[in-house]
Amino acid sequence: MKHYFVIFLFAFGLSTFGSAQVAQKPNAAERPLTEEDQIRFLVLSDLLGKESREKKTRCVTVDGEKKKPSKALLERLKQVDPKVKSGSRCYLDKQDGDVVVDGVTGKEALLFSVNKLKRLDRDRVELSGSNYEANMASFGCKYTLVRENGIWKIETVSDCYIS
């Protein structure tokens, strides 16, 4: 009987030690997104999917011109487009017609932005998303999203503009 108890303690000790070694901090792409970031992700992914310019940095802001996206949202967006960076990396060059510039490389970039979301009811929200490159070079739409069975989906895209 003592042998079974010793074997049990040994096995329990190994399993506890092994699980402590395996436990790791999840990276930002694996962390769950907040509800607002889930909604932002859907809109920004849609906008990024419409952009075809290959080499330009894609700077992202949320809820206003210079608010940075959360780390989890930024990492999730990098899975959609690896050229995504925080909006704080880019600036508008006023001397050259409000062109978006990557502050690190000095090259032209694109600015993707979502405005603060407006709750229409518990399961419906509305927000605007846009892509800005320079004066007279932008695109944007109003998005309505609906939550069905706990999952947010784009319901309508309307009032789009191009300049």
Say if 11 falls within a structural domain: no
Strand partners, 62: 114
Strands 57-62 and 84-86: parallel
pLDDT tens digits along 142-163: 999 999 999 999 999 999 999 8
Helix (H, G, I), strand (E, B) or coil at 136: coil
Entry pTM: 0.77
Residue 1's pLDDT band, with cuts at 50, 70 and 90, is: very low
Q: Tell whether 22 is covered by a domain.
A: no
Is residue 17 a part of any domain in this protein?
no
Residue 27 falls inside a structural domain? no
Whole-number pLDDT of residue 26: 52
The Cα 120–Cα 42 span in angstroms is 17
Is residue 19 domain-resident?
no
pLDDT number for residue 4: 43
Domain-located, residue 76: yes
Q: Is 82 left (phi over 0), alpha (psi -120 to 50) or beta?
A: alpha
How many domains in the chain? 1
Residue 102 lies in a domain: yes
pLDDT in tens, 29-81: 567 899 999 999 999 999 998 876 677 899 999 987 667 899 999 999 999 99
**Shortest CA distance to 91 belongs to which of 40, 52, 57?**
57
Round to whole Å and give the CA distance between 44 and 30.
18
Rg (CA), the chain: 22
The rounded distance, in Å, linking the Cα atoms of 18 and 131 is 48
How confident is the model over 100-117, as a mean pLDDT?
Answer: 92
**Structural domain range at position 79:** 35-162
What are the pLDDT digits (tens) for 15-26?
Answer: 333 333 334 455
Q: Is residue 2 part of a domain?
A: no
